[in-house]
């Protein structure tokens, strides 16, 4: 009697196999039994479909968990040309990075050729294990300002387009939401450069096409930092300038 009860309990707690696990068992049995090649080939195809479905489900669930945990991001950057506020790239990265690590997901970016000369195509690739999803975005890179005039070199315009494209893709992928935050009091008190101005100067330095442009944008950045009594930003601009100089002269003897 006790043996029968133990058998019943064992049967009750036996875990139920998932669809993918059942497919693996069927494939192993077909190979062991020497089934026809066509049968094995069909099982391999079905197993691949089951694996893809399983990976896609895991990916979607992880992405939904991240989106549900993200809180509205404060718009601390301000564009004086359009009189609008925006969330800085740094604030967006700080909001999503810990959630990506928690879900073991990775986000990378890769360029693709674009048929139009004044456009760049940036592709965000969000991955979980072997499964990844691509998010393409086309961005203008004509170097023109809000009024239509040329304000950047072609190389600088491309670098700026890539920077903005990456930020917009993060907004799209994670369905980010934003909130206004009035920081005029801090700026009036002379507590440093606004985030938007700092980010723009840093981008200009990092994307400088040659030594002459690097010297020009670096001087503009330093003048702005010292005018705002912002030594930390001035030091950061100096570090960025040295890094860009090394990049421009890498491989030169």
Q: Give 202's contacts (C-beta < 8 A, 6+ positions apart).
A: 221, 236, 237, 240
Lowest mean pLDDT among 71-80, 84-93, 183-192, 229-238: 183-192
Q: Which residues of 11-37 are buried (b: 16+ CB within 10 A; e: fewer)?
A: eeeeeeeeebeebbeebeebeeeeeee
Burial class (CB in 10 A: 0-12, 13-18, 19+), 158: buried
pLDDT at 2 over 50: no
Q: What is the mean pLDDT of residues 71-98?
A: 81
In angstroms, rounded to a whole number, what is the distance separating the alpha carbons of residues 86 and 181? 10
**pLDDT value at 246 more than 80:** yes
Report residue 162's pLDDT band, with 50, 70 and 90 as the boundaries. Answer: confident
Whole-structure pTM value: 0.56
Instruction: Please indicate whether residue 21 or residue 16 has the higher confidence score (pLDDT).
Output: 21
Residue 147 has pLDDT above 50, yes or no: no
Q: What is the pLDDT of residue 10?
A: 46
Q: How high is the pLDDT of residue 175?
A: 92
Would strands 105-112 and 131-140 be described as parallel, antiparallel, or unpaired? unpaired
- Grade residue 76 by pLDDT with cuts at 50, 70 and 90: confident
Tokens of 138: 């086309």
What residues contact 111, with CB distance under 8 A and at least 6 apart? 120, 121, 122, 123, 162
If you search the block for the tokens 């069927």, which residue do you land on? 26
> 106 pLDDT exceeds 80?
yes
In DSSP notation, 131-191 reads EEEEEEEEEE-S-B-TTS-B-S-HHHHHHHHHHHHHHHHHHHHTT--EEE---HHHHHTT-
Residue owning tokens 């938007």 = 196
Look at residues 17, 91, 20, 95 and name the one whose alpha carbon lies nearest to residue 58. 20
pLDDT 10s digits, 180-214 = 643 433 343 445 777 778 888 888 898 888 999 99
**Residue 1: per-residue pLDDT:** 43
Residue 205: burial class (beta carbons within 10 Å; 0-12, 13-18, 19+)? buried
Per-residue pLDDT reduced to its tens digit, 88-102: 888 899 899 999 999
Note the pLDDT of residue 5: 39
Longest alpha-carbon distance in the chain: 91
Nearest to 183 by CA among 51, 77, 112: 77
Average pLDDT over residues 68-76: 87
Percent of the chain's residues with pLDDT above 70: 72
Checking if the pLDDT of 253 tops 60, the result is no
Mind listing the pLDDT tens digit for each residue in 42-60? 777 777 888 888 899 999 9
Q: Quick check: 177 and 73 in contact, CB under 8 A?
A: yes
pLDDT at 152: 66
């Amino acid at each position: 009697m006790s043996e029968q009860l133990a058998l019943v309990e064992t049967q009750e707690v036996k875990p139920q196999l998932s669809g993918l696990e059942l497919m693996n068992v069927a494939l192993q049995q077909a190979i062991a039994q020497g089934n026809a090649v066509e049968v094995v080939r069909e099982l391999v195809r079905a197993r691949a479909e089951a694996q893809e479905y399983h990976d896609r489900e895991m990916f979607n669930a992880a992405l939904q968990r991240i989106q549900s945990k993200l809180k509205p991001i404060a718009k601390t950057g301000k564009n004086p040309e359009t009189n609008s506020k925006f969330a800085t790239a740094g604030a967006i990265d700080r909001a999503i990075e810990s959630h990506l690590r928690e879900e073991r997901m990775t986000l990378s970016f890769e360029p693709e050729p674009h048929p139009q000369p004044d456009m760049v195509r940036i592709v965000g690739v969000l991955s979980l294990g072997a499964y990844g999803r691509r998010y393409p975005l086309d961005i203008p890179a004509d170097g023109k300002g809000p009024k239509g005039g040329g304000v950047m070199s072609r190389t600088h315009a491309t670098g700026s387009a890539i920077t903005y494209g990456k930020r917009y893709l993060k907004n799209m992928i994670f369905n980010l939401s934003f909130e206004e935050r009035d920081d005029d009091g801090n700026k009036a008190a002379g507590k440093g450069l606004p985030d938007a101005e700092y980010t723009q100067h840093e981008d200009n330095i990092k994307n400088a096409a040659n030594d002459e442009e690097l010297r020009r944008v670096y001087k503009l950045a330093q003048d702005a930092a010292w005018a705002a009594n912002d030594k930390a930003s001035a030091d950061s601009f100096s570090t960025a300038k040295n890094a860009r100089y090394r990049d421009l002269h890498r491989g030169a003897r």
